[in-house]
Amino acid sequence: MSNSPAEQWMQVRPEGLYCAPADIYIDPIEPVTRAIITHGHADHARSGHGEVFATPETIDIMRTRYYLGDETRENGLKYGQRFDLGNGVTLWFASAGHILGSAQAVIEFEGTRVVAAGDYKRHPDPTCAPFEVIPCDVFITEATFALPVFQHPPLETEVEKLLRSLRTLPNRTHIVGVYALGKCQRVMKTLRLAGYEAPFYIHGALKRLTELYESYGQDFGAWELVSDIPRADKHLFQGKIVLCPPAQINDRWSRRFADPLPTVASGWMQIRARARQKRAEMALVVSDHADWGDLIRTCEETKAGDIWITHGRVEALEYALKQRGMQAKALNLIGRDESVE
Ligand SMILES: [Zn+2]
C-alpha cells in the first residue's frame, strides 16, 4: 500500500477537509477562520467564515445568496492564479465544469500536489468553463452518481424531448422544475441553442442568479417573471416553458397555469421512483455531476497515485477503482446533501 505524504497534512476533521500547514479548510460545513470554497452550491458554500478563497464568480454567487457578511474577508482568484497561503503552501484553481465559477482546488506542499475537485462534470455545458484534467499525486473526487446505472445522456436529447412535447401538446403549460443555480441557466441556454425562441417565464426564485450569469456574458434571450404577468392572462403560458424550483411544479403556485404539465430536470430522473416521488409527468435527465464512466475516466486521467473519495456512492467507486489497479480510499466526510445538485 503506497500512502502519499499528503496523508500527513491533509486531514479529515468534523468541519471538513483540512490542510494543516496552511490552517485552511475546503468547503467546510461549519464556520472556520480560513476556507477554500469550490463553488456556490449550498452544501459547499456556507456563511460565517473569517476568510474565503474562491473564484470571483463564486464570490459573486455567495454574495448574491447572502453567504458573505461583514465578518468575511474575500479573496477572489481567477483560474490558474497562484496564491501563497503561507508555510510553503500554494493554492490555485482549475475549472471543474460543474456550474459558473466552479473550481478544483489545487494545493501544493513540499513537492506534493493534491487536487480537491469538489463537484464536477465532463459533459459539455455552454454556461461554464469545461473541466480541466490536472495531473496530481492525490485526486479527491466526489461520487454522487457513482453507480454503473448512471450514464447521463447528452442534454440535447433531453431538451429535444421537451421541444417535441411542446409541439405535440401545444395547449399544455410546460412547467420545468430546475435548481436555481446552474441547472436553470444550463437548461435555458441549451433550449436557445436548440432553436426555442419564445420568452421563458420564470419563478422569482430564479431571477437573481440568472441575472448574475448574464452579468458574466451569458445570453438567455427574452425572459419574464411569472409574477409580472396578470393572472387573467393564464392562457399566455400554453405551449410555453415556465421554469421554477422543483418544489413548485405541483404546489399552489403552479395552479395559476392553464393545463400544466409538470416536468423535472435532474440527474436523479434516471431512477423512475424519484420522478414519481416528484409527481412529474415528464422527467428530463439533467445532471451537473460526472456519471459513472466519467468518474472512473477522470480518476485515471489525473494519473494520481492516490484517489480519495468524499461524498456520494463512495463504496461503489472505491471498489471499481481498486479493480482497475488504482489506490483508492473513502474519506468519510459528513454534511454533503446528495439531493442538492
Ligand atoms: Zn454542486
Give, as one character, the DSSP assignment of residue 72: P
Residue 187: its H or E element: helix 183-193
Residue 111 Cα to ligand 1 middle (Å): 29
Give the class (CATH, top level) of 6-149+289-330: alpha beta
**Euclidean distance between CA atoms 145 and 289, whole angstroms:** 7
Per-residue pLDDT of the chain (341 residues; tens, 9 = 90+): 557 999 999 999 999 999 999 999 999 999 999 999 999 999 999 999 999 999 999 999 999 998 898 889 999 999 999 999 999 999 999 999 999 999 999 999 999 999 999 999 999 999 999 999 999 999 999 999 999 999 999 999 999 999 999 999 999 999 999 999 999 999 999 999 999 999 999 999 999 999 999 999 999 999 999 999 998 888 899 999 999 999 999 889 998 998 999 999 988 877 666 666 667 899 999 999 999 999 999 999 999 999 999 988 899 999 999 999 999 999 977 666 554 44
Instruction: For residue 41, report the distance from its CA to the centre of ligand 1, in Å.
Output: 5
pTM: 0.94
The alpha helices in 194-277, defined as continuous H runs, are 207-215, 272-277
Number of C-beta neighbours around residue 270 at 10 A: 19
- The Å distance, Cα 229 to ligand 1 centre, comes to 32
Of the candidates 10, 268, 301, the one whose C-alpha atom is nearest the C-alpha of residue 152 is 268
List strand residue ranges (DSSP E) for 247-323, in order. Answer: 260-266, 282-285, 306-312
**Side-chain half-sphere of 109: how many Cα atoms within 13 Å?**
22
Going by C-alpha positions, the residue among 118, 66, 59 that lies closest to residue 94 is: 118
Domain residue ranges of the chain, discontinuous segments joined by +:
6-149+289-330, 155-285
Centroid of ligand 1 to alpha carbon of 287 (angstroms): 10
- Ligand 1 centroid to 28 CA: how many Å? 14
Nearest to 127 by CA among 162, 176, 178: 178
Measured in Å, residue 119 CA sits from the centre of ligand 1 at 5
Longest dimension (CA), the chain: 69
Query: Would residue 70 be called left, alpha or beta, if left means φ above 0 and alpha means ψ between -120 and 50 degrees?
Result: alpha
In CATH, the number for domain 155-285 is 3.40.50
Calculate how far, in angstroms, residue 3's C-alpha sits from the geometric centre of ligand 1.
29
Q: How far is the CA of 44 from the centre of ligand 1 (A)?
A: 7
| Ligand 1 geometric centre to CA of 142 (Å) | 10
Q: How far, in Å, from the CA of 293 to the mean position of ligand 1?
A: 19
Structure letter (DSSP) for residue 79 = B
From ligand 1's centre to the CA of 238, what distance in Å? 33
Q: How much of the chain is in helix, strand and coil states, percent to nearest 5?
A: 30, 25, 45
Are residues 201 and 238 in contact, defined by beta-carbon separation less than 8 angstroms?
no
- 291: which DSSP letter? -
Q: How far is ligand 1, taken at its centre, from the CA of residue 338, in Å?
A: 9
Residue 20, all three cell numbers:
494543516
Residue 240 phi/psi, 5° resolution? -120, 170
User: Distance, CA 95 to ligand 1 centroid (Å)?
Assistant: 13
Query: Ligand 1 mean position to 167 CA, how many Å?
Result: 33
